[in-house]
Structure 1
Amino acid sequence: MTVNVETLEKLERKITLTLPVGVIQSEVDSRLKKLARTVKMDGFRPGKVPMNVVAQRYGYSVHYEVMNDKVGEAFSQAANEAKLRVAGQPRITEKEEAPEGEMAFDAVFEVFPDVKINDLANATVEKVAASVSDEAIDKTIEILRKQRRTFAQRPADAQAQDNDRVTVDFEGKIDGEPFQGGKADDFQFIVGEGQMLKEFEDAVRGLKVGDSRTFPLSFPADYHGKDVAGKQADFMVTVKKLEASNLPEVNEQLAKSLGIADATVEGLRADIKKNLEREVKFRLLARNKNAVMDALMANAELDLPKASVQSEIQRMVESARAELKQRGIKDADKAPIPEDVFRPQAERRVRLGLVVAELVRANDLSAKLEQIKAHVDELAASYEKPADVVRWYFSDARRLGEVEAVVIENNVTDFVLGKAKVTEKAVSFDELMAQQQG
């Protein structure tokens, strides 16, 4: 076998492969003979089909399989000999001209890039910190109380006010015409909690059971219902039922109903604080990790392999289709999803993956077994039976692989923070919790 390696541009390479025709034909003959021993054809006993008949029926497909196998083997061998790290699948085409008795092929492919990470001492990272305040604990208790509130019917002459649960019929029209989602009977919501648009809540306040009111409502331009976003509708609402909400007292009974081991108010607050601190820790880690990864990519130089980006785009498209299918969208597998929507994110993922892999390799930042165990223990700590959760993780290689990836990212984060110029910034608990987790 003769091997020629040629650089086309940046990461693109070309290898010319030559294979003796005799080797291919010998393998074809061998496979046809093996096939003839088992093939079944009308008019012949099993194993007695003449070779020329077997060759006529299966020769083309067997020849195609052999060519694929032999060219694939030749490419792998050539790439290994040249110490090339191949990204994606090669595009292989047969050459018209070849030495006598041989077949020649061109294999065009990409290689993974060399990654240059500049001095991280010049990188800047903003590291955020937050703490759990008494106010945050109070807000969490209020949420827990609202989740356990009860409702009682209000007197007939009562007027709707904040915190009341109202049952209403409503109908809306745009330019005198009904629209989808604009009509409902026996619809319930709690006044003052932002479940409905402000104009709707304002219209219901002060109404008694049996009262109706008509009012204009302007849908915001960014409203989730695109058909009505930015338009004005005329609504009529009728109150059918009014219920006052009753929140449970903050006492030992509430703590007990929440399954707190120390069923006291102090025990309730301590348990909430512990859970909030765990959530704050993970959110800070995620936010600071993102800041580190941004700084790392800004200090790295590399070319992106198109094949890797395309593979990542395909994964993201398939994931989007699977999500649509899960939501019950008809023909989700045929839904037109433009690839370019995912390209920036796919490029970021590929770039980050290559940069992180290089930093891990160069600085021995791979996950140690004790780190993986410690991380699993931490994840399990918030569950009622931590030991069961630990066993669940260690019983599945894929789940353990996901934990290993997180530990490696944490190692990279700590390494970069130890090298870069770090500025610290305090953020409020509310700001941290409002942030979308990436």
Structure 2
Amino acid sequence: MQVSVETTSALERRLTIQVPAEKVDTAVDERLKQTARRVKVDGFRPGKVPMNVVKRRFGDSVRQEVLSELMRNHFIEAVTQEKLNPAGTPEIEPVKMNAGEPFEFTATFEVYPVVELKSLEGESVERPVAEIKDADVEELITDLRKQRATFVETDKAAETGDQVKIDFEGFIDGEAFAGGKGEGYDLTLGSNSFIPGFEDQLVGSKAGDSKDVEVSFPEDYQAADLAGKAAVFKCKVHAVKQQQLPELNDAFFAQFGVAEGGESAFRAEVRKNMEAQLKQATRNATKQAVFEALMKANPIEVPRALISGEIDNLRRQAAQQYNLGQDFDIGQIPADLFKDQAKNNVTLGLLVGEVIKANELKADDALVDELLNEMAGSYQEPQKVVDYYKSNPEMLRQVQGAALEQQVVDKLLSQAQVTDVTKTFRELAMPGQ
């Protein structure tokens, strides 16, 4: 076998592989003999078909079959011989296939990049830190009460946080437009569920009021025919309802799994959950900061084949998230939606792999147990959850992967210049809320 390697781009390689004619002929003859022993041809007993008949009937198809196998096998031998590390499936094309002559084919593919990993020495990483204050606990308890609030009719003027029952109809240039009408709609003022400015103009209204609400649709509004246009909504207020929070009593506590111990036990449970949430949020934010620094310090080119494969993974995840069904063709989801994320994921995966290899890291059993216990802590019978994970190799590998990832983060943090940045609980654990 003769092999030549051509570098066609930073990561693309083209192999030209030549197989001696006698090797091809020997393989074809052997395959024809095997064929002769098993084929059935009218007029001949099984296994007694003359070779010239077998060649005439099956020679072309057998040769094609043999050449396909030779291309696959010799491609593997060639990349091993040349010490290449293919990324993705090669494009293999025959070049010379004439009988009695050396068989020649090309294989074009991308290779994994050679990463010369740079340390994070001198790189700045901001690590968020936060503590849970009594005010944070009170605020979260108020949020929990609001989630289970009821609304009671009142004669007072509507305030932000109140609910108004309205009929409305929208007009543009005096003409009603499709989808702009509703009746008996319960709208919570301050919820931002309507277009900007709508809810603010209903503050101060009372039951029985009629009001024209003047707004403009955002430029990026989902309905292109309405985007950027000024509109008037004629509204009729039927009722104003004031939010009524549930009392802090045993019935309320029971909704959160606190069956005894009263308010002190409930507050302790809330704080415990907040601490777990904060720990996870801190870990995630720190990991993101470290990985961003790792990619900044180590810009690499990544194979298109790996990016394409990751795009398909993200498409599948999106299809599952939106319950599109097993038969849904993920190719219908535009690749551009995931291109940047896929490239980042592949880049990060290659770099994290290099950190693991360079430092000979393995999942630490103690850290695996710690992560398992954290995960199981939110269940009523934590030990059963731990036992389940440990008895399921696939589930356990996921936790081991998370532990190994955390060890990578810790290793990189030890190299970088770390600055602690103080955040509030809500900023870190509940961003955007």
TM-score range, shorter chain: 0.7 to 0.9
Deviates further, 140-149 or 372-381: 372-381
Matched residue, 1:36 = 39
Task: Provide the residue aligned with 1:26 in structure 2.
Answer: 29
Alignment of 1:73-88 (within 5 A): 73-88=73-88
CA deviation string 1:127-182 (max 9, x = no partner): 1111112222111111111122233344xx55444443332221112223333431
- Looking at structure 1, the residues matched to 392 and 33 of structure 2 have their Cα atoms a distance apart, in angstroms, of 42
Correspondence list, 1:35-434, <5 A: 36=39, 63-96=63-96, 100-154=100-154, 158-197=156-195, 199-300=197-298, 302-320=300-318, 326=323, 333=330, 335=332, 337=334, 339-394=335-390, 396-434=392-430
* Residue identity opposite 2:420 in structure 1: E
Judge conservation of contact 1:255–1:263 (CA < 8 Å) in 2: no
> One-letter code of the match for 1:196?
F
**Superposed displacement of residue 323, structure 1:** 5.2
- For the structure 1 residues 385 and 84, does the alpha-carbon distance in structure 2 shift closer, same or farther, using more than 3 Å as the test? same
**Secondary structure, counterpart of 1:233 in structure 2:** strand
The one-letter amino acid of 1:234's match is V
| Structure-1 separation of matches of 2:337 and 2:320 | 17
SS of residue paired to 1:419: coil
> How many Å separate the matches in 2 of 1:158 and 1:134?
33
In structure 2, the CA distance between the partners of 1:426 and 1:29, relative to structure 1 (3 Å rule), is same
Residue 371 of structure 2 contacts residue 403 of structure 2 at CA under 8 Å; is this kept in 1? yes
Is 1:12 the counterpart of 2:12 in the alignment? yes
> How many angstroms apart in 2 are the aligned matches of 1:263 and 1:402?
36
**Which letter maps to 1:313?**
I
How much does 1:301 deviate? 5.3
What is the one-letter code of the residue matched to 1:189? Answer: L
Distance 1:14 1:203, change over 3 A: closer
Once residues 26 and 436 of structure 1 are traced to their aligned partners in structure 2, the CA distance between those partners, rounded to angstroms, is 71
Aligned-residue offset at 1:233: 1.0
Q: Please, which moves more after superposition, 359-368 or 392-401? A: 392-401
CA distance in 2, matches of 1:379, 1:62: 58
The more displaced of 185-194 and 387-396 is 387-396
Q: CA deviation at 1:212?
A: 2.5
Q: Deviation digits for residues 291-333 of structure 1, max 9, x if unmatched? A: 1111112222544223323332343345445556x369x9865
Bigger drift between 401-410 and 122-131 goes to 401-410
Secondary structure in structure 2 of the residue aligned to 1:95: strand
Q: Check 1:98–1:250 CA distance in 2 against 1; reply closer, same or farther (3 A cut).
A: same
User: Percent of aligned pairs with the same residue?
Assistant: 34
Post-superposition offset of 1:102? 2.7
Q: 1:48 to 1:78 in 2, by over 3 A?
A: closer
Q: CA deviation at 1:351?
A: 1.7
Q: Using the alignment, how far apart are the partners of 2:352 and 2:314 within structure 1?
A: 20
Is the 8 Å Cα contact of residues 160 and 203 (structure 2) preserved in structure 1? yes
The alignment partner of 2:14 has SS state of: strand
Give the conservation status (yes or no) of the 8 Å contact 1:192–1:201: yes
- Would you say how many aligned residue pairs link Structure 1 and Structure 2? 428
Alpha-carbon spacing, 1:267–1:124, altered in 2? closer, same or farther (3 Å): same
Structure 2 Cα separation of the partners of residues 53 and 100 of structure 1: 20
Offset at residue 226 of structure 1 (A): 4.6
**More displaced 10-residue stretch of structure 1: 418-427 or 182-191:** 182-191
Cα offset, 1:288, TM superposition: 0.8
Between stretches 2-11 and 75-84, larger displacement belongs to 2-11
2-structure distance, mates of 1:81, 1:313:
32
Q: Which runs of 5+ in 2 are unaligned?
A: none
Quick one: distance in 1 between partners of 2:210 and 2:223? Answer: 25
Cα RMSD, aligned residues only: 3.5
Native 8 Å contact 1:322 1:332 kept in 2? no
Q: What is the identity, as a one-letter code, of the residue corresponding to 1:22?
A: D
Structure 1 residue identity aligned to 2:295: M
Q: Distance in 2 between matches of 1:45 and 1:259?
A: 81
Q: Equivalents in 2 of 1:281, 1:30: separation in Å?
A: 69
SS at match of 1:117: coil
- Decide whether the 8 Å contact of 1:217 with 1:234 is kept in 2: yes
Distance (whole Å) between structure 2 residues aligned to residue 36 and residue 245 of structure 1:
84
Secondary structure in 2 matching 1:405: helix
- On the 8 A contact 2:315/2:330 being kept in 1, the answer is no
The one-letter code of the counterpart of 1:36 is V
1:216-242 superposed Cα distances (whole Å, 9 cap, x missing partner): 122233445554332211111122344
Q: How far 1:246 sits from its partner (Å)?
A: 1.9
The answer as to whether partners of 1:116 and 1:301 remain within 8 angstroms in 2 is: no
CA distance in 1, matches of 2:263, 2:88: 59
Ranges in structure 1 where 5+ consecutive residues have no aligned partner: none
SS in 1 for 2:186: strand
Post-superposition offset of 1:392: 4.5
